[in-house]
Amino acid sequence: MAANGQWCLIESDPGVFSELIKDFGCTGLQVEELWSLDECAFNELKPVHGLIFLFKWKNESEQDQQGKVVYGDTDIFFAKQVINNACATQAIISVLLNIESKDISLGDTLTQFREFTSSFNPALKGMSLTNADRLREVHNSFARQNMFEFDSKSAEKDDDVYHFVAFVPFKDRVYELDGLKPGPIDHGPFTDDWLTVVRPLLQSRVARHAATEITFNLMAVVGDKLMALDRELRAAEGDMLIADIKNKMRIEEEKRANYKIENIRRKHNYIPLIMEMLKILSEKGMLLPLTEKAKEKLASKSSTKKAGPS
Marked catalytic residue, from 163, 187, 209, 268: 163
Q: β-strands 68-69, 185-189: how paired?
A: antiparallel
Amino acid at 257: A
Give, as one character, the DSSP assignment of residue 64: G
Amino acid at 127: M
Residue 87 annotated among the catalytic residues of the structure: yes
* Whole-number Å distance between alpha carbons of 198 and 169: 9
Residue 268 annotated among the catalytic residues of the structure: no
Residue 222: helix, strand or coil by DSSP?
A: strand
Marked catalytic residue, from 26, 87, 139, 187: 87
Q: Where are the beta strands (DSSP E) in 154-194?
A: 162-170, 173-177, 185-189
Neighbours of 154 (CB within 10 A): 7
* Whole-number Å distance between alpha carbons of 33 and 19: 14
* Whole-number Å distance between alpha carbons of 197 and 33: 19
Catalytic positions, please? Answer: 87, 163
